[in-house]
Structure 1
């Protein structure tokens, strides 16, 4: 059976693997139709992601078809189209007992800590499948990225403040995770700003989301002037940093309004540094956002189905299974203009 493996940094390899066995109790056998390429896949490919070991078959943003189900499976059946929730929690640790399945202490994410879906078919827990009779496989492959943004937005909880005025919310980094966060921030009462160093991405947000409060990061202080102009000098009550860049993540505290909340959703292996008064002076709240919750997947599927979320602008690049080895490296380069790439597996 066909599969593609990241064998070492910047090295993809087509391999043959054994056909999966029949599904066991609580399992489903699924066929991969579409795989989304996200920042995690790029970081894994470049050898920069902290939880990734080589060699590994990637693929955690997936639109799949159920081929067969094992004993006891009632939530899906053969023929169903599904999105995959790729977080394999243990259900027993402290975090799981408290309902924080996204923070499971033994968590294994498919495509990152265990082999994923860039293959013809594979087995997984059936409870991690979220079906839709309406969505395409491509739309289903985008649900996981959106779930990351959904959870990050919930962590920051922008909206109307305690005193009735709408929060000013800033999202830093307009890659897929920043855009996913934006999808949910725009459903709140918050006044939204976005920042990126790539003017083309800011143009994308203006065109497709109607966000006029854009901030071009140049590193010369002009971004602070723009932020103060947008917020009337108050700066931001909620900031989500989706860059995974240590310099951006360290500087983000300086954009907070008093009593503001900063959410880190991007991941870096580098140390972050800031002088303590930068956090102490505004009595800032520092938050992390990890993965997503099972309920996020069903919510997102419903929002795409009813047209609240339009995924059409997201996909800027497509490639087939046989072309991945030639095309993938370009997805790592900002000048390619990629927002979201989709691999057509079957």
Structure 2
């Protein structure tokens, strides 16, 4: 059976793997139709993601079809189209016992810590499948990215009357924006790529955009937007140590800073920048099962439109040639989709 592996830094390799065995109790055999390429996949490919080991079959943003189910599976049936919740939690550790399965101490994320969906088919725990009778495989492949943003927005919890800032308009920042805009907060976004800010203005009607130049002009723009108050909720979705270290300077008194992007570098700031406003710093990791259910419903009823997200598309045969281009912001990529079968 065909699969594609990230064999070493910046190297994709076609391989042959065994066909999956018959699904055991609680398992499902699924066929991969679509894989979304996200920032995690790019970081893994570039050798920058902290939880990734080579070699590995990537693929955790997936739209799949159920081929067979094992004993005891009742949530999905053969032929169902599903999104996959790729976080394989243990159910026994301290975090799991508290219901924080996204923070499982033994967590294995498919496509990152175990082989993922860039193959023809594979076995998965059926409880991790979220079916939809209405969505297509492209839409289902985007549910996981949206779930990351959903959870990040919940961690910041912007309220009516708040000014909220999202830094970084890549897929995770856009996913956070999808849910921040459903609140009554006043939303601003910042990026150093003008094309991404144009995309946000045209797609979402967000006029409070901030172009980061690093010369202090971004602070002036923020003061203009907020009347000098700055931001009650900031979400940094960049994964860039400089952005993440500097984000506290934009915070309002008693405000919160949410880190959803990941870096392996140290973050540094002088303590008064946190102490003076009595700021809260929180992290956002992965997502929870209800996020997937909520997102599928929001796409089904038209509240979220995923069509503008997909800017690039390739298939299983061409991905070896095309993947490198997905790592380059100058190509204008927001979200690339791989048509697997």
Q: Same fold (TM over 0.5)?
A: yes
Please state whether the residue corresponding to 1:78 is helix, strand or coil: coil
1:242-287 per-residue CA deviation (whole Å, 9 max, x = no partner) reads: 0000000000000000000000000000000000000000000000
Q: In the alignment, does 2:228 pair up with 1:228? A: no
TM-score by length of 1: 0.98
Please state whether the residue corresponding to 1:130 is helix, strand or coil: strand
1:126-176 per-residue CA deviation (whole Å, 9 max, x = no partner) reads: 00000000000000000000000000000000012xxxxx10000000000
Q: In the alignment, does 2:28 pair up with 1:33? A: no
Partners of 1:75 and 1:299 in 2: how far apart?
Answer: 16
Q: In the alignment, does 2:110 pair up with 1:110? A: yes
Match of 1:8 in 2: 8
Partners of 1:223 and 1:302 in 2: how far apart?
Answer: 36
Match of 1:243 in 2: 238
Partners of 2:137 and 2:334 in 1: how far apart?
Answer: 18
Aligned residue pairs total 341
Match of 2:90 in 1: 90
RMSD value, Cα: 0.2
Match of 1:306 in 2: 301
Partners of 1:100 and 1:288 in 2: how far apart?
Answer: 13
Match of 1:173 in 2: 168
Partners of 1:16 and 1:337 in 2: how far apart?
Answer: 33
Match of 1:163 in 2: none
Offset at 1:213? Answer: 0.1
Partners of 1:268 and 1:225 in 2: how far apart?
Answer: 27
Offset at 1:333? Answer: 0.3
Residue from 192, 201, 206 that aligns with 1:211: 206
Please state whether the residue corresponding to 1:152 is helix, strand or coil: helix
Match of 1:296 in 2: 291
Please state whether the residue corresponding to 2:337 is helix, strand or coil: strand
Partners of 1:189 and 1:260 in 2: how far apart?
Answer: 17
Residue from 275, 282, 296 that aligns with 2:277: 282
Match of 1:43 in 2: 43
TM-score by length of 2: 1.00
Please state whether the residue corresponding to 1:123 is helix, strand or coil: strand
| Unpaired segments ≥5 residues, structure 1 | 161-165
Q: In the alignment, does 2:333 pair up with 1:338? A: yes
| Unpaired segments ≥5 residues, structure 2 | none
Partners of 2:332 and 2:297 in 1: how far apart?
Answer: 29
Moved >3 Å (runs of 4+) = none
Please state whether the residue corresponding to 1:218 is helix, strand or coil: coil
